[in-house]
Amino acid sequence: MPQRLLSDPEQLRAAAVRIRKNIVKMLGRSGSGHPGGSLSSADIMTVLYLNEMNVRPEEPLWPGRDRLVLSKGHAAPVLYAALAEAGFFPEDELLTLRQWGSRLQGHPDMRTTPGVDMSTGSLGQGLSAACGMAIASKMDGAPWRVYALVGDGELQEGQIWEAAMTAVHRKLDNLTAIIDLNGLQIDGTTEAVKSLRNVADRFRVFGWNVIETDGHDIPAIMKAFAAAREAKGVPTCIVAHTIKGKGVSFMENQVGWHGTAPKPDQVEEALRELAAAEEVRN
CATH number at residue 158: 3.40.50.970
Which tens digits make up the pLDDT trace of 65-121? 999 999 999 999 999 999 999 999 999 999 999 999 999 999 999 999 999 999 999
Domain assignment present for residue 68? The answer is yes
Domain assignment present for residue 232? The answer is yes
Distance CA 185, CA 37 (A): 9
Domain assignment present for residue 1? The answer is no
Domain assignment present for residue 4? The answer is no
Distance CA 281, CA 82 (A): 21
> In terms of residue numbers, what domain contains 212?
9-281
Contact 77, 97 (CB under 8 A): yes
Domain assignment present for residue 3? The answer is no
Reported as a pLDDT band with limits 50, 70 and 90, residue 251 is: very high
Please state, rounded to an integer, the average pLDDT across all residues of the chain: 96
Domain assignment present for residue 180? The answer is yes
Which tens digits make up the pLDDT trace of 22-66? 999 999 999 999 999 999 999 999 999 999 999 999 999 999 999
Contact 78, 151 (CB under 8 A): no
| Sequential DSSP letters for 17-78 | HHHHHHHHHHHHHHS-S--HHHHHTHHHHHHIIIII----TTSTT-TT--EEEESSGGGHHH
Domain count, the chain: 1
Domain assignment present for residue 2? The answer is no
Angle between helices 199-206 and 158-169 (to 10 degrees): 40
SS3 150: strand
Q: What is the pTM (predicted TM-score) of this model?
A: 0.96
